[in-house]
Amino acid sequence: MSDTEQPQLYLITPPELELSHFPTDLSRVLDAVEVACIRLSLASRDEDLILRAADCVREVAHRFDVALVIDTHVVLAQRLGLDGVHLTDGARSVRMARKELGPDAIVGAFCQQSRHEGITAGEVGADYVSFGPVGDTTLGDGSKAEIDLFTWWSEMIEVPVVAEGGLTEDLLRRLAPVTDFVGIGEEIWRKDNPVEALQALTRALAG
C-alpha cells in the first residue's frame, strides 16, 4: 500500500456471542466507523449456534453493505450465502476453498508469522493473507509477527495483508504505513464501550 493510504478496518467477532445484544453492539460500531469486512470467529463448534450467530451477524453486516466471512467453515459459508471464508491453516486449504466457493468469494488465509506460507497462500488463490499476533495475546505460543514482516510484505508482495492480534494504539501507528487491513476484535469487545474503543484505535491509525 502507499504511505498515504490508511489501512482499512477488518472487524473480528468475539469468540462467544450473546445474541441478545451483540447485533445491537455491532450495529452501533458499523454506524460509527467504516469497516471493510467482518469475520465471524467463534470458539464453539456447535453447528446450531454457529448458524444462528451467522444469521444475526449477516443481517447486520449486509444492512451496512459490509462483507462477512466465516472462520474455517467452507461448507457453511456456501450454505449461508456468506461472502467468503477465513482459513486458519495457512495455505493448505486455499485451493480447495477457492474451488468450492468460486472465483467471486473472498478467501483469506491466516499464516501466523510465516512469510513462506503467506507467499504460497497468495500463489494458490488467497485474496488476502493475515499475520499475527502482532502484540501480546493469550493465544498461541508467544510468537509474534514483527513489524519487519509487514514492511517486507508491503514492499515485495501485491496480495493484501492483514495485521491482527493484540493490537494497541502504538502498534497501529507503526503498522499504518505497511499493512492494508487491521484485524480488530477482542481489543474492542472486551471494553465497556466498543464504539469508543474502536474510534480511539482508528485515530491512532490516522496518526
pLDDT tens, position by position, 60-78: 999 999 999 999 999 999 9
Q: What's the chain's Rg over C-alpha atoms? A: 16
Give 129's contacts (C-beta < 8 A, 6+ positions apart). Answer: 108, 109, 110, 111, 118, 121, 122, 153, 159, 160, 161, 162
Taking alpha carbons only, the member of 111, 106, 113, 42 closest to residue 77 is 106
- Determine contact, residues 33/64, Cβ cutoff 8 Å: no
Place of cell 499476533: 133
- Kindly tell me if the per-residue pLDDT of 2 is higher than 80: no
**More confidently predicted of 45 and 184:** 184
CATH of 8-205, picked from 3.30.2130.10, 3.30.70.100, 3.20.20.70, 3.40.1190.20, is 3.20.20.70
pTM more than 0.85: yes
pLDDT digits (tens, 9 = 90+) for 125-139: 999 999 999 998 876
pLDDT digits (tens, 9 = 90+) for 146-190: 999 999 999 999 999 999 999 999 999 999 999 999 999 999 999
Distance CA 181, CA 130 (A): 9
Distance CA 130, CA 188 (A): 19
